[in-house]
Structure 1
Amino acid sequence: MKNKLLSLILIFVLVLQITAVAYAEESVIQEEAEQTIITALELTKEEALELALQNSMELEIKRLELLKAEVSYKDDIRGIKKSEDNIEYFPLRDPLTGALIPDSAINLVLIKNGAARRGVELALNIAKWNLAMTENKVSYNVEKAYFDLIQAEKDHQIAGESLKLAEKQLEQGKLRYQLGMMSKQQLLGLELGYSQTKSGFDASAMVSELQRMSFNNTVGLTLDKAVELTDKVQSREYEEIDLDASIKKALEENGGVRIYKENYELSKLTLQAVRARYPENTFRYREQEAETKKAEQSLLQIMNGVEMGVRSAYLSLKTSEKQIATFELAVKQAEEALRITELSFQLGQNTANDVTQANINLMNAKKSLAQQIHAFNLALLDFEYSTGIGK
């Protein structure tokens, strides 16, 4: 009797030890799981922009180039002032090519007509405009990457909704099969539809992950950093556009137009200076005259390019905006078609393939709507940047 009691006590103690060990192991596993949970960085579009502007190495280089240009500007302006007092003291450089001009007669005209100062100022302004255009480019790339990632996540969400629906249809199909209300072939059709939907879901997860890494790279985060974008996917509102005023604004503010316009003005002033030393029938004069024509042609080309950019962005914006309503209607129709198809299937009037196809049609309609909203947002983004300093 005592031996039996002792055995029971030993078994009880052993059970307690095993339970304690199991509980300890479970606690460790749970603690490790909690430690491995990755905290996602929440970002609004504005916060992503700020982060990218802080991390951009390209911007840092442009800032250093501006500092260098400011030092050169001070030195060159001092030289021009000395040359104004003594034309032989400081040989000027060609305001376009940067080559030294040994001819004092040409130097004198370049100083008097302001070309010397304008050339030095242009070099400084180009550094300023390049910095501003680089900031614009970084901002544009971040906004586009933000919208692209939202779109990829939206596609993944739609694929998830479709997968849940396919899973629900498959479970109902299995029940109906067990009750003898549908054939094995119809059940296989539902299983195939579920498998196809699962494949689409997995593919969308991969695309979303790749887009997240691309976004991280754009804003300066490590590729493995989890992010959560807090802005919603929707059509952005904007004020009514005056196309002519927008084109005028773009031509006035675009950095490339500013540079080519000033190059053309400096070329005309340089031609004026060359005329003071060389007659119009000389090679030197004809050479400078040809350069002036080239500068004028380049200015006209970039102005046409800027205007075309504004007009094409405007057309894309208006076209994509009009199509959103059509895709919204397509989603409603696909939802109703799926509802009717499922009801007909339950009544034995449709096949499992009909249900699967209706589910696919709904998923495609939702994806098309999301893509159209994405296209509209990008078109608006392109238009906004086409009317500024450029990128």
Structure 2
Amino acid sequence: MFNRKIFSILLAVYLSLMPVGNLSVYAQEEITMQEPVTEVLELSLQDAIRLGLEDNKDIEVQKLELLKAEVVYKDRIRGIEKSEDNLKLIPVRDSLGNAMPDAVVNKAFIRNGGARLATELGLDIAKWNLEMKENELKYNIEKAYFDLLKAESEMKIAEENFKLAQKQYDHGNLRYEVGMISKQQLLGLDFNLSQARSNLETSKMYYEIQKMSFKSILNIELDREIVLTDVVQTRDEVIINTEESIKEALLNNGRLKSAAGNVEVAKLNLQALSGMYPSITYAYRAQAADVAKAEQNLQSLTIGIEMQVRTSILNLQTAQKQIETFEKAVFQASEGVRIAELSFELGQNTATEVAQANLNLMNAKKNLAQQIHAYNLALLDFEYSTGIGK
């Protein structure tokens, strides 16, 4: 009886321990099976450009267009070379023995080099289009990066303004408790704090919107957390030779090179056509009109590119000069806040004047941030205006 009782007790203890052990193991398994937290993606400007160009659909399309152009180029060059070997043969004639106009014109177009130039231009344009698309994407990524840095800077400015308003309210509340300021003055400080809080929430909203826009350009998940590692800054004064920059832009621009090539092809086509069609014919005049249009397009592009370079240089120089002015404005506004706080403590001004001083400081900082942003965009515009274009 005694042994059976001991056995029953031991069995009950053993069974009571079993679920606890299994539950403990199960709990440990649950913990280890939790999904890992996604790491924050840190991006420098160059990282962002690299990521934005990876597996980009627009670039893939342009690469496919280039592959198509290469096939067309090979086929046409092969045909041109065969035709060049047989240029001495008599022209193709119709049933009445008259030379076929198109055959004569085509042979003349091959003989004067127009056909080969047009074929080479088609391949070159496909190459330039790919380079310009890459340039366009790089520009958009860099601009979006600077836009996000600006939004982040303005959010930090709003945070500083909120902390300043919070400090002033806390200090005023202590003074109110000992009877040094009135209830109305404390309410004024509280209102200032509410405005600062509202400004902070608004700046956070704009920052989040700008961040989503930036991530969409890079094709990043919109809920992925990112951090920009580069900071907003200005470089040393940029010395630019305007005339040399214009020459460089006119030499490099892809659209201008395409337009210049089209002019040459149109002229050679007119030359080939003139051997068969007199200047009084419709065919000649139609081709002459095409030449004039191609020349007009080239002239318009040349003027537009020069204006783009000159405008970017003016914007850059203006931004450089104004940054120093806005830096002085920030210093003066900071002094204004210090004087307003001191005067308030001495009872010589009101909470409204303190709030105005805070607002002036926040606006001065935002103006400086916007000017630095304008400088970076002007520099970006200048750098891309002298390249192949976008």
Specify the TM-score bucket, using the shorter chain as the normaliser.
0.7 to 0.9
Residue 47 of structure 2 corresponds to 47
Q: Distance in 2 between matches of 1:227 and 1:102?
A: 66
Contact map agreement 1:149 1:208 (CA 8 A) in 2: yes
How far apart in 1 are the matches of 2:115 and 2:277? 19
Structure 2 vs 1, CA of residues 77 and 317 (structure 1 numbering), >3 Å: closer, same or farther?
Answer: same
Gaps of 5+ in 1: 1-23, 92-100
Which shifted more, 283-292 or 127-136? 283-292
Where does residue 292 of structure 1 map in the other structure? 291
Structure 1 residues 125-144: aligned runs within 5 Å:
125-144=124-143
Deviation at 1:139, TM superposition (A): 0.3
Q: SS of the counterpart of 2:54?
A: helix
Per the alignment, residue 218 of structure 1 pairs with 217
AA matched with 2:175 = R
How well do the aligned residues superpose, as a CA RMSD in angstroms?
A: 2.1
Q: Output the CA distance in 2 between the equivalents of 1:275 and 1:248.
A: 35
Return closer, same or farther for 1:49/1:327 CA change in 2, 3 Å cut-off.
Answer: same
Q: From the superposition, tell whether residues 171 and 37 of structure 1 become closer, same or farther in structure 2 (CA, over 3 Å).
A: farther
Displacement of 1:39: 2.9
Distance in 1, Cα, partners of 2:344 & 2:336 = 12
Q: Could you tell me how far apart the structure 1 residues matched to 2:384 and 2:75 are?
A: 35
Cα distance in 2 between the residues matched to 1:347 and 1:222: 54
2:340 is aligned to: 341
Shift of 1:177: 0.8
TM-score, normalised relative to structure 2 = 0.87
Structure 2 contact 101–276 (Cα < 8 Å) conserved: no
Asked whether the 8 Å contact 1:87–1:107 carries over to 2, the reply is no
- Alignment deviations for residues 144-172 of structure 1 (CA, whole Å, 9 cap, x no partner): 00000000000000100110111111111
- Report the equivalent of 1:161: 160
Q: Please state how far the C-alpha of 1:223 moved relative to its aligned partner.
A: 1.2
- Equivalent residue, structure 2, for 1:9: none
Structure 1 position 239, deviation (Å): 4.4
Instruction: For 2:274, give the aligned amino acid.
Output: R
Distance 2:87 2:123 in 1: 23
Give per-residue Cα distances to partners, 1:193-224, cap 9 Å, x unaligned.
Answer: 00000000000001000111111111121111
Aligned partner of 2:125: which letter? Answer: I
Describe the SS at the equivalent of 1:389: coil
2:277 maps to: 278
Deviations 1:276-313 (A, max 9, x none): 11112222111111111111111101111111111111
Contact 1:217–1:223, Cα closer than 8 Å, also in 2 = yes
Taking the TM superposition and a 5 Å limit, the aligned residue runs for 1:373-384 are 373-384=372-383
Aligned residue number for residue 61 of structure 2: 61
Larger Rg: 2
Question: Contact conserved, 1:152 with 1:207, CA < 8 A, in 2?
Answer: yes
State the Cα distance separating 1:126 from its structure 2 match.
0.8
Per the alignment, in what secondary structure is the counterpart of residue 55 of structure 1? coil
- 1:327 maps to 326
Counterparts of 1:24-43 in structure 2 under 5 Å? 39-43=39-43
Report the 3-state secondary structure (helix = DSSP H, G, I; strand = E; otherwise coil) of the residue aligned with 1:390. Answer: coil
Give structure 2 stretches of 5+ with no counterpart. 1-23, 92-99
The answer as to 2:169 corresponding to 1:175 is: no
Does the Cα contact within 8 Å between 1:55 and 1:220 map onto a contact in 2? Answer: no
Which amino acid is 1:212 matched to? K
Q: Secondary structure at the match of 1:228?
A: strand
Q: How big is the shift at 1:236?
A: 2.7
Q: For 1:70, what is the secondary structure of its paired residue? A: helix
Q: How does 1:252-267 map to 2 (within 5 A)?
A: 252-267=251-266
Distance 1:88 1:215 in 2: 62
Aligned to 1:103: 102
* Structure 2 equivalent of residue 4 of structure 1: none
Contact 1:320 1:372 in 2 (8 A): yes
Question: Counterparts of 1:238 and 1:309 in 2: how far apart (Å)?
Answer: 20
What secondary structure does 1:103 align onto?
helix
1:85 deviates by 2.2
Q: Which residue of 2 aligns with 1:78?
A: 78
Report deviation, 1:240.
Answer: 1.6
